[in-house]
Chains A and B, each alone.
Chain A
Amino acid sequence: MAADDKPKVPEQAVQDAREALDEGFFPLEFFNDDDLHELEMERIFGQAWVFVGHESEIPEPGDYARRYIGDDTFIFVRDESGEVNLLFDSCRHRGAKVCRAEQGNTSHFRCPYHGWTYKNNGEAAGIPQKSKAFKELDREEYGLAHVPRLETYEGLVFASLAEEGPTLEEWLGDFKWYFDIHMKLPEGGMEVIGEPHRWVIDANWKTIADNFNGDSYHTAWAHGSVLDLELGGEETVGHAGTGESMDRHIHCDGHTTSIRGFEDEDVFLTYPEEVVADLFTKEGLSEGQWQVARQALSFTGGIFPNFGFLHFGDTTDDPNKDVAPFFTIRKWRPLGPDQMELWSWGLAPKNAPEEFKERMYKMYTSNFGPTGNFEQDDVPIWKGITDVAGGQFASKQGYQLNYQMGLDWMSEMDLDEEWDGPGFAYSENLEEGGMRLFHEQWYEMLAGNAREDAIGVPMNIKEER
């Protein structure tokens, strides 16, 4: 491709590169490109189901938190009747923001410019001098705009900026089988502790998406310090492909999860016995889901496009203290081709003793978030990828990154035919199919196609099926 003598047409470049993904290649330059960023905002973040927040963050009527989808600002608010809304934060008169805080509680939002006032369900409640100045204006037509679609799954609220498209149910597909394990295991479900950590880093959002979609290969290396200090067990931090644990990489309806565990052992993510005995319930879970929960030591995963989660057992903040689990969910919000804002929440079983919830939150902050012993070391690496992707060399050389691990000429990747859950379960974690699956969906949506076109059978086993 003579990329240097004509302006690059992003859609053509994307199409050309799509085929290379079948061989396990992805162009480095795609991690930092202005034109692609614009396309991503329009065709991915303007269409996809994007995570907004958990219902437990706004438990009382009037509770609100400011939230973002791509470049757009919304108010995530529980109204007086208890319904959760996502309102576009822009006055219907001149467009000014009507919400000035990151969170709080209010019955009304008032525009500072001319005083137009809205109830916390978005309805217009007051327009100064209306009878003289706007006498024909129908107040009912001038409420704050609701996001086109808002849906909740197990307390997790997602929104889509598109009027039409798959429902959240369809978007998550059978992957709910896996996420149910986290959300339904304890009686009463999970709740968010405190407020999300937020930090802005100079890295492309796809770098962290890669990481959460099954990068078991990096953990022992990038997080070797955690192993050195014994803040996480060998089997938790892990060496891909060499551990004693039972490792599975699962691709399911466009989303992924990596599971480590031990066969025929009651591990339950190292939750303490009393929590397991008092709170964990088979209710709402199938026998297969219960088995996975029972054997699991850790879960990592990604929901396309920008939601990730970690549920880890066997971690500590101090090698002299007992190990405990943590559970975090997160989103990566693109701010530009070379910048994103990370949002990260710590969760705990709602009905667990307060002291244990605090311990879980402590495990989360010690390991993840901006101060986390794991995460501290990830971010500068993602930043480095973005940095080198933005120069001339990567595009002029057509510099390709290698995502071939697990393709059949590189390694034998067996499927676990006995696996009880939906999707495709690889019987080990030394493969990069989750990342290829992520990029396949990225290509399809960027080309304006349905994401579903990418999420059938993993590419390395298409031949045999």
Chain B
Amino acid sequence: MSGHHISSAKFLWTIGAALFVLTVITVAVTWIHIPGPWNVVVAILVALVKATIVALFFMNLYWDDKFNLMLLFLSIAFFILMIGITLLDTLYRDDPIPSF
């Protein structure tokens, strides 16, 4: 483990450029009108790729103590748990739409 990884300037600029290109891609795919629900899936997938790049190479998780990566995975796992249990309720209500 190395908490003090030093990235080269060229590497950081490459990561920034990759994120910029992915932003252009995520806007561009809305122009070709992918039928739902696949448009949401594509948008989330591109966002996940971008977030992974930021976490690994800007937040240095790639070189860092793996314990910090595990913390990130735990937060994602509990987030999925929260969404999952919430949807098990809200998607299957007899009267699904509340008054507000």
Asked if chains A and B come from one complex, the reply is no
